[in-house]
Structure 1
């Protein structure tokens, strides 16, 4: 998918833009990605060359191995970037895109450490969550949401928000 694709962290301190398509959208199941995501896998897509621009803020970096550093928001902790230092470009976490559905994964890497129950996810029962476990339910979450919206803003937080 060509065009301009924006993304960023949950709190809005870091925003980025990718001009053009992301290459090799995939799920990485390696143990290092599991730890970096705090999840069973990390969805990544590669922004080749100089197509990625950070448009707001400055990410923190963690050198997870000699050839790789990982970029994240120092304020909210969102994992954002996977930078193989010798490559021409950088991967972004697909979930940090404003439209993550634009790049469905086409492959899986690191399957030797994939969780044995991963294939069963599609057969698990699903439900809409009403969050009746929280005072005020979803209404209270919507009314007090501090998450950056899924589009670029001139500033964040916006006037009148904190």
Structure 2
């Protein structure tokens, strides 16, 4: 069994096997939900997660997903898409996360330019953006350093 919990221990969980998939997520919702530059999610069948202690609180982060967290300490625990049999548990919530090795990046179009992790792994975008949208997302300091840009 692989165990995890929130920071205060009010909410804990266990899964009986390694997750189907582990990946880095760079989408803005995962950044905000974790308070970090990216999230690392471990995907497994929701029915195979056993919960202990207090139930996780949930927040609807979009029109297609909810985020689970401890209502006492605020630790992020999972994200789950509506009508999906799988749940993405945050790897940082596991007691022994060293065996969870990410295999790819998701939300690559939102990856912060200074994030230097898993550069050789395959990348996938959440959705296609136009070149104008991509350039709009580049921080002003970097955009101003581009050749031909007036200073």
Secondary structure of the 1:55 match is strand
Counterpart residue number, 1:112: 109
Structure 1 counterpart of 2:66, from 63, 69, 72: 69
Structure 1 counterpart of 2:49, from 40, 44, 52: 52
Contact between 1:26 and 1:108, CA under 8 Å: does it hold in 2? yes
**Pairwise CA distance, 1:14:** 0.3
Taking only aligned residues, the RMSD between alpha carbons, in angstroms, comes to 1.7
Work out the CA distance in 2 between the residues paired with 1:120 and 1:30.
15
Work out the CA distance in 2 between the residues paired with 1:37 and 1:62.
13
Higher relative contact order (CA 8 A, sep 6+): 1
Contact between 2:21 and 2:44, CA under 8 Å: does it hold in 1? no
**Pairwise CA distance, 1:120:** 7.5
Counterpart residue number, 1:8: 5
Deviates more, 1:98-107 or 1:113-122: 113-122
Counterpart residue number, 1:102: 99
User: What are the ranges of 5 or more consecutive residues in structure 2 without an aligned counterpart?
Assistant: 120-151
User: What are the ranges of 5 or more consecutive residues in structure 1 without an aligned counterpart?
Assistant: 123-162
